[in-house]
């Protein structure tokens, strides 16, 4: 299906045939652009950036590449192609025809899911707005901006649904998506992680590895939705998400590779010596990983959740890759959960499976997170260094769910609060870690050149060389 770029708002939803919707979105568009100018990448609005733009919605024919000024990026509304006679794949309405319109009984729940998803997209752009000023290379700068414009498009995707299917309150919610801001004391973003500052590139890579991966799993769940327009828009968003996680995985991989090189150059793995030589020591990488992984785990919601049971029952939000399961109704099955027993130990609680859907999705996510960790560890082992990165236990530093507020070591052992506080600086980035990492962050903009603390990528973008001028600073 070809995408219509003749309209002011590119789309493949025949926007031109729905005049009132088109007008409503054209009314929102300048507000979006103002938001982008004010809270998007600061200092680069006039730069020419080598960006990819969607040309078709199937995974193969996806992209064209070219130099674009970000405010001229063609943000649009693209849904995956409709499947004829699609059926609801899970819950109480299993096997019934998918909905083309909002099912009246679930209107407010569905709106809340769309708003929550939509809120994260501009939040991440806000979190990352100053990173360009301290980019480690033009290649990385371009990847940052690619991620940013696509998160902007994900906002468009949710705003389209709100405008097209939720009338007046949908339009109001669309305005609110531009009114809440990451980290704002009065009007913060909805979910915790999206209010955390991302003020250095190690955090940015951790965020794109761990938090964009939450995006992958949430989008996969919503791509199963019985509300067909939501399912189709999330299917296309997933094709964009893959690159975000690539940026995270290769970014962390390159940080590690550079550290290993410096270890060999100075013949030491002493963190202080490595820091003096301008590399990031592996224990610091581990502490950043602990922070962003545990924060991202909270994004899945409580382990026992009646909200999760309801959205599953109602056919609004399924499990990622629902088709892989045998039972799609899940009224009989149960799920065993660990929870604190209140006496410093662990209890098993058995709950109806539907109530544990957040945990089912979280478990799939943790498994997926392991893939990169294994890859990074292989490179460390290959360099002959006795160090292994690990994912901390899902009980560690939780703020949502039954482990919220409990003191647990990264290996999952509960300990008392005092002991935890005494050791927190082994497990989470300290102020000194952050100051050190920030001290390395100096802007590098000579084509092909990399900052001291990161190795070059294996290859460039779209078969171009690594030293291509990916961003022409205007």
Task: Name which of residues 11 to 70 contact Fe ion (CB under 5 A).
Answer: none
Nearest distance, CB of residue 54 and ligand BYC, angstroms: 17
Question: Nearest Cα to 109, choosing from 306, 375, 321?
Answer: 306
Q: What is the C-alpha to C-alpha distance for residues 134 and 201, in angstroms, rounded to an integer?
A: 8
> Residue 211 CB, nearest distance to ligand BYC (Å)?
4
CB of 294 to ligand BYC, least distance (A): 11
With H, G, I as helix, E, B as strand and everything else as coil, classify residue 9: coil
Best CA proximity match to 206, nearest among 291, 122, 282: 291
Work out what residue 354 binds among Fe ion, ligand BYC, none; the CB cut-off runs from 5 to 8 Å by kind: none
Give the nearer residue to Fe ion in terms of CB position, either 208 or 305. Answer: 208
Residues 297-356 that bind Fe ion (CB under 5 A): none
DSSP per-residue letters across 90-159 = SGGGTTSBPBSS--GGGHHHHHHHHHHHHHHHHHHHHHTTTGGGG-S-HHHHHHHHHHHHHHHHHHHHHH
Name the residue nearer to Fe ion (CB basis): 214 or 303: 214
- Tell me whether residue 148 or residue 434 sits nearer to ligand BYC (CB atom): 148
Least CB distance to Fe ion at residue 241 (A): 5
The CA-based angle 272-276-282, given to 5 degrees, is 50
**Contact between 213 and Fe ion (CB under 5 A)?**
no
User: From the CB of 269, what's the least distance to Fe ion, in Å?
Assistant: 34
Nearest to 149 by CA among 222, 240, 88, 87: 240
Q: Measured at the alpha carbon of residue 252, what is the angle toward residues 247 and 256, in degrees to the nearest 5?
A: 145
CA nearest neighbour of 257 among 429, 457, 465, 466: 457
Q: Which is nearer to ligand BYC, 35 or 387 (CB)?
A: 35
Which is nearest to 327 in space by CA: 304, 352, 348? 352
Nearer to ligand BYC by C-beta: 124 or 235?
124
Neighbour tally for 83: CB within 10 Å: 12
Q: Say which entry of ligand BYC, Fe ion, none residue 358 contacts (CB below 5 to 8 A, set by partner kind).
A: ligand BYC
Which one of residues 140, 212, 269, 281 is an interface residue with Fe ion (CB under 5 A)? 212
DSSP state, 354? G
Q: How far is the CB of 134 from ligand BYC (least distance, A)?
A: 20
Q: Residue 163 or residue 398: which is nearer to ligand BYC going by CB?
A: 398
Q: What are the angstrom distances between the C-alpha of 277 and each of 265, 287, 307, 441? A: 9, 20, 51, 14
Q: In terms of CB distance, is 284 or 305 closer to ligand BYC?
A: 305
- Paired tokens of 421: 């506080």
Partner touching 299 among ligand BYC, Fe ion, none, CB below 5 to 8 Å by kind: ligand BYC
Number of residues that bind Fe ion (CB under 5 A): 7
Could you give the C-alpha distances from 359 to 25, 254, 265, 373, 420, in angstroms and in order?
37, 32, 44, 21, 25
Which one, 88 or 444, has the nearer CB to ligand BYC? 88
Which among Fe ion, ligand BYC, none contacts residue 22 (Cβ within 5 to 8 A by kind)?
none
CB of 333 to ligand BYC, least distance (A): 18
**Binding to Fe ion by residue 244, rule CB under 5 A?**
yes
Q: How far apart are CA 334 and CA 349, in angstroms?
A: 10
Q: Which is nearer to ligand BYC, 259 or 358 (CB)?
A: 358
| Least distance from ligand BYC to the Cβ atom of residue 226, Å | 15
Rounded Cα gap, residues 237 and 220, in angstroms: 10
Nearest C-alpha neighbor of 470 from the set 152, 91, 140? 140
Residues in touch with ligand BYC (CB under 6 A): 113, 116-117, 120-121, 124, 151, 191-192, 211-212, 214-215, 218, 298-302, 305, 307-308, 317, 358, 400
Per partner kind, with CB cut-offs from 5 to 8 A, the member of ligand BYC, Fe ion, none near residue 137 is: none
Q: List residues binding Fe ion (CB under 5 A).
A: 121, 151, 154, 212, 215, 241, 244
């Amino acid at each position: 299906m070809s995408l219509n770029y003749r309209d002011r708002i590119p789309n493949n939803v025949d926007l031109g045939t729905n005049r009132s919707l088109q007008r409503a979105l054209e009314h929102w568009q300048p507000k979006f652009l103002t938001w982008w100018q004010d809270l998007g990448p600061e200092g680069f609005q006039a730069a020419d950036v080598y960006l990819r733009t969607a040309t078709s919605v199937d995974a193969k024919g996806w992209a064209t590449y070219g130099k674009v000024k970000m405010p001229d990026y063609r943000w649009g509304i693209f849904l995956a192609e409709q499947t004829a006679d699609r059926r609801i794949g899970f819950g109480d309405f299993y096997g019934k025809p998918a909905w083309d319109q909002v099912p009246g009984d679930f209107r407010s729940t569905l709106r809340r899911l769309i708003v929550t998803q939509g809120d994260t997209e501009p939040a991440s752009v806000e979190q990352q707005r100053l990173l360009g000023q301290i980019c480690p290379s033009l290649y990385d700068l371009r990847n940052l901006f690619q991620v940013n414009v696509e998160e902007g498009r994900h906002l468009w995707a949710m705003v389209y649904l709100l405008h097209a299917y939720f009338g007046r309150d949908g339009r109001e919610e669309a305005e609110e998506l531009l009114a809440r801001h990451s980290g704002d004391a009065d009007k913060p973003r909805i979910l915790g992680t999206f209010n955390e500052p991302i003020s250095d590139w190690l955090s940015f890579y951790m965020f794109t590895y761990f938090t964009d991966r939450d995006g992958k799993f949430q989008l996969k769940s919503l791509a199963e939705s019985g509300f067909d327009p939501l399912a189709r828009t999330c299917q296309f968003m997933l094709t964009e998400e893959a690159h975000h996680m690539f940026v995270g995985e290769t970014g962390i991989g390159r940080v590690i590779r550079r550290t290993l090189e410096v270890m060999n150059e100075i013949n030491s793995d002493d963190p202080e010596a490595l820091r003096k030589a301008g590399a990031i020591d592996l224990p610091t990488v581990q502490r950043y990983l602990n922070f962003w992984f545990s924060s991202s785990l909270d994004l899945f919601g409580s382990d026992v959740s009646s909200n999760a049971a309801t959205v599953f029952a109602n056919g609004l939000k399924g499990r990622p890759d629902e088709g892989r399961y045998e039972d799609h109704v899940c009224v009989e099955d149960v799920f065993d959960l660990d929870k604190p027993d209140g006496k410093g130990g662990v209890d098993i609680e058995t709950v109806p499976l539907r109530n544990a859907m957040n945990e089912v999705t979280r478990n799939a996510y943790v498994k997926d997170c392991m893939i990169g960790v294994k890859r990074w560890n292989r490179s460390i082992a290959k360099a002959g260094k006795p160090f292994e990165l690990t994912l901390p236990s899902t009980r560690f530093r939780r703020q949502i769910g039954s482990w919220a507020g409990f003191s647990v070591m990264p290996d999952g052992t509960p300990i008392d609060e005092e002991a935890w506080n005494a050791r927190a600086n082994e497990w989470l980035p300290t102020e000194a870690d952050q100051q050190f990492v920030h001290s390395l962050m100096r802007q590098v903009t000579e084509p092909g050149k990399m900052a001291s603390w990161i190795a070059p990528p294996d290859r460039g973008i779209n078969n171009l060389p690594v030293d291509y001028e990916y961003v022409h600073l205007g």
